[in-house]
Every structure is written in C-alpha cells, then in structure tokens.
Structure 1
Amino acid sequence: MFKLREINKDKELLNQVADLYQQVWAQEDLSIKERVTRHAGYADYRGFVAISNQGEIAGYAYGYSSLPGQYYHGLLSEALNPEEEQTWLTDCFEFVELGVLPAFRNQGLAKELVNHLLDGAGHKTAVLTTQLDNDSARGLYETLGWRVIKQPFYPNENGQPYVIMGKQLR
C-alpha cells in the first residue's frame, strides 16, 4: 500500500519532511527545515518517507548516531545516570522523528517505518523520546520492544514531561 523511499540528502524530500512535520504536529516552526537538513548530515543518518498509491507523502521517520557534542545527546546524558548512559548511549542510534498524517494512521504505516528504519541501523541500542502522555506513541513503541528508561524527562523549558525509551538492537 505504501512505498518507502530513502531520504538521503535529497533537498526536495527534506523540505517535504519539514512540511509534513508541521502538518502532523499542527504547528508552524520556521526552524524545522534547517533542523531536518542539518540532521541529514549527521553520522549514520537514515531516513525514509512513505509514499501512498496516490503519490502523497503519508509519513516519515529518521534518525542517526547519537554522539557526544550533539544537542540532544547532551540532554540525554545529563538525564541518565552513568550506568544508563553507558548502556544506552554507547553505540546508539537516536530515533529522532516519526510522523504519519492523520488520514494514514491505524494502517500499520508507523510500525513499518520504525521497523524499516531500525533494520539497517547497525547499532547496539536505539533511544527515543516522546511525550509522557502520548499513549498512542508509547503503545506503538512498547509493542515493538521499546522500554521506558526514564520518566519524566524534561528536554526544554516549556515544562512538558517526556519519557526516554530504549531498545536493544543486537
């Protein structure tokens, strides 16, 4: 039903991912295009879009190696104790974004994107964060073998609690 296409550094696809991000999260974020493009240059970047039979980009997922010096890696390192940091952030794939348009949800697309993204990641572990109260995302990740590492986690000043989840990949 959906064709998965690798994003690589395709400027047009990166712009479409940024536009889709804003649609999925119902927010206008002028920095998202720059952030999506910058992330595509990170070590071991992997990203995919799902294209519907009608040619519409229905969803996306991407991530990269989580390395010292990266903004979010620093936040995760501060939130975890030394043992957790060693276990989860050494040889780690950071699963950064997943988004599926509402019209394409509940069709297995998110699961397909997550699995496809992680299948070739080549890391020992993967980590992600999601909103603490995002029951649908947490449920999806738990059915795919992710587990809670830390909650609550506060990645920014807005005070919204998140959860850090991890998955052993090998």
Structure 2
Amino acid sequence: MAMLYQAIWKKEEDDFFERIQRHADYEGFLGIVAYSDTNECVGFAYGYKSEKGQYYRELLEKEFTSDEIEMWLSDCFEFVELAVHPSYRKNGFGRKMADKLVNNSHRKTSILTTQVSNLAAQTLYTSLGWVVVKENFIPSPTDELYVIMGKVLKGDSFDE
C-alpha cells in the first residue's frame, strides 16, 4: 500500500506509514485493499469515525456553521483516502472500494475532501451519491483548493 501511495502521489512512504498507523488507532477505523488477478495491490481506501479533537475534524468544523456541524459531523465517517493505480483505473475498483467502505461504517453520514482540480474523483463521488458541501476549502496554507463532499449513509436525506 505504501509503495502504491508513493507511486501515485510521489510522496515519502514514511509519511504514509506514520499517518495510517495513527489513523488505525482511531475509533471506527475501516480499510479495504483491492488486488489484481496476479495478487498485486492495485488500490486501497480507508477512513474512521470523525470525532472532536481530531486534526481534520477541527479543520472541517472551522468551515461549517453549527447546523452543518450537527448535520454532517455528528455521526460521521471520515473517508480519508482512496487510491487506485493508474493502470487499473476505470475498472470499477475505486467505485467498489468506496461503496463497501462507507456502507460498512455504520454511520449516518460520510465526509471527504478532494482537490478542486481532481475532476475525475469528483465525478466518481458524485456518481456514488456524494454532494458538494463546501467549495474552496484550504486545509493548510501550502495546499491547493479542495472541495468538501458529503454523503448521507442512512436515514432521511438532509434539506439543503
């Protein structure tokens, strides 16, 4: 998984190892890995229950009104990462992993962020029932613009 992460995003593996080890200790952590017919890791996805005090949760709360916090974050699965090797994209791996992951989270909603420029990801998520909750989100001063997307996983949909 770390090699796949590094190959896709050109980031150091150590960063990924440290991050996923920390996230794996969070309540409600779920992960899924996709393999090719030759048993090669071709994709993975993971997330966890969103709780007060978590770094990303705090960033999201700064963007939301109190009603939006209640609506989207009160019983939320943070969909943290979805990666599919470029050679295996458009084969349904991302769709299957995303659906299986959030549907097994047992939360009311799920939230994710992706770059505004990543139209392929936004198209995938929109086709899976995700909606744009906020545009032009900047997680840190060195980041590009992101979009915050949400999905209702159970119960009635929200009035927007």
Which TM-score applies when normalising by structure 2? 0.93
Q: What is the aligned-residue identity percentage?
A: 45
Residue aligned with 2:80, SS: strand
Answer whether contact 1:60 1:99 (CA < 8 A) is retained.
yes
**Are residue 111 (structure 1) and residue 95 (structure 2) matched?**
yes
Answer whether contact 1:18 1:36 (CA < 8 A) is retained.
no
**Are residue 129 (structure 1) and residue 117 (structure 2) matched?**
no
For the residues of structure 2 that align with 1:33 and 1:158, how far apart are their CA atoms? 21
Which TM-score applies when normalising by structure 1? 0.88
Residue aligned with 1:31, SS: helix
Equivalence map 1:1-170=2 (5 Å): 17-28=1-12, 30-170=14-154
Q: What are the superposed Cα offsets for residues 36-92 of structure 1, whole Å, 9 maximum, x if unpaired? A: 111111101000100111010000000000000100000000111111111000000
Runs of 4+ with >3 A deviation: none
Instruction: Give the superposed CA RMSD.
Output: 1.0
The gaps in structure 1 that reach 5 residues or longer are: 1-16
For the residues of structure 1 that align with 2:39 and 2:120, how far apart are their CA atoms? 26
The gaps in structure 2 that reach 5 residues or longer are: 155-160
Shift of 1:25: 1.2
Aligned length, in residue pairs? 154
